[in-house]
Amino acid sequence: MIAIDNLQLNAQGQLQHFLSIEGLNRELLTEILDTAESFADLSAQNIKKTPLLRGKTIVNLFFENSTRTRATFELAAARLSADVMSMNIATSATSKGESLLDTIRNLEAMQVDMFVVRHALSGAAHFIAQHTAPHISVVNAGDGQHEHPTQAMLDMFTIRRVKKQFSNLRVAIIGDILHSRVARSQIHALTLLGVEEIRVIAPKTLLPTGIEDLGVNVFYDLQTGLKDIDVIIMLRLQKERMNSAFLPNEREYFKCFGLSAERLKIANKGAMVMHPGPINRGVEIASEVADGEQSVILQQVSYGIPVRMAVMSMVMNHTNGVG
């Protein structure tokens, strides 16, 4: 695990960068959720824009594929009236051998104010934050298997909207925990927000060693693990990050760890079903559950916009006195 220092907070404890949930506190997470509420109201209106970041330039640096995250970061920046540029790294000079820092230096020379970074290496956003000019904010849009903090915040926003509070909730995170930066961020966020219990449910091969140290209860059996659960978070099998030794096969995996309509009945009545996407239908989740009444998967996507607006306006607020 990477040591994250307090680089993301300034001396007043305000957000300067948004790199990980680890290292933040309950007050800050609540401030993000409350700020996102006001932007969610705006998203529901006919004119969805606010001039909050007018004149600011945001660069999306996506070194790894993304659909939802990239699109909602772009829309969030546009709705804050910022100028936004998305760099296609596969066709940029980085693929010609330019170093990451050289790419950053060149973009800095274009007077940018914020980098939104997705990278296959854990710690990449943190590294850029350490090396970039002090007035520039860095937002982590997913770094390797480390963290995906805006995804966790939009998940917390979705949970709060549906369940109203955190303290009485039992949450199960199910599936490929080993490769999941989302799970790591969620565990930190749920802990800070004070849920009753966090369970992780997975085959042994898909659990990182020492996961118990994060204060979660480990289950290797889905039927037992789903009992008394209020919030079910399914994770995608990250096949691109594994070799065949991790699993027997997908059909077998669904039989043991897939969320079917039948299994969903084991959880508490009205349990909400979440998934950060992209979903593998019939692998970790049955179509009828993904599209069913208890699923909030598309709400999660919608809430990505107000939550990312909240994070971007808060990090800019600290550096440039906006607001």
* Interface residue list for ligand NCD (CB under 6 A): 68-69, 142, 148, 151, 181-182, 236, 238, 276-277
Told to judge if 148 belongs to the known catalytic residues of this protein, a careful annotator would answer yes
CA–CA separation, 22 and 240 (whole Å): 26
Instruction: Return the number of the residue (150 or 313) whose C-beta is nearest ligand NCD.
Output: 150
The Cβ-side half-sphere exposure at 35, using a 13 Å CA radius, reads 22
Instruction: State in angstroms the smallest separation of the CB of 95 from ligand NCD.
Output: 21
> Rg (Cα) of the chain, in Å, rounded?
19
Instruction: Return the number of the residue (124 or 136) whose C-beta is nearest ligand NCD.
Output: 124
Instruction: State in angstroms the smallest separation of the CB of 182 from ligand NCD.
Output: 5
Told to judge if 118 belongs to the known catalytic residues of this protein, a careful annotator would answer yes
Nearest C-alpha neighbor of 220 from the set 206, 241, 237, 236:
206
Which listed residue (48, 50, 57, 68) is catalytic? Answer: 68
Told to judge if 69 belongs to the known catalytic residues of this protein, a careful annotator would answer yes
Which listed residue (17, 35, 69, 170) is catalytic? Answer: 69
- 298 by Cβ neighbours in 10 Å (0-12 / 13-18 / 19+) ranks as exposed
Which listed residue (96, 164, 204, 269) is catalytic? Answer: 96
Close Cβ partners of 159 (under 8 Å, ≥ 6 residues apart):
166, 169, 171, 231, 272, 274
Which listed residue (56, 79, 148, 160) is catalytic? Answer: 148
Residue type, 141: A
Instruction: Return the number of the residue (132 or 151) whose C-beta is nearest ligand NCD.
Output: 151
The total number of residues written for the chain in this structure:
323
Instruction: Return the number of the residue (15 or 182) whose C-beta is nearest ligand NCD.
Output: 182
CA torsion angle 33 36 41 45 (round to 10): -160
Instruction: State in angstroms the smallest separation of the CB of 51 from ligand NCD.
Output: 28
Told to judge if 54 belongs to the known catalytic residues of this protein, a careful annotator would answer no
Instruction: Kindly list the catalytic residues.
Output: 68-69, 96, 118, 148
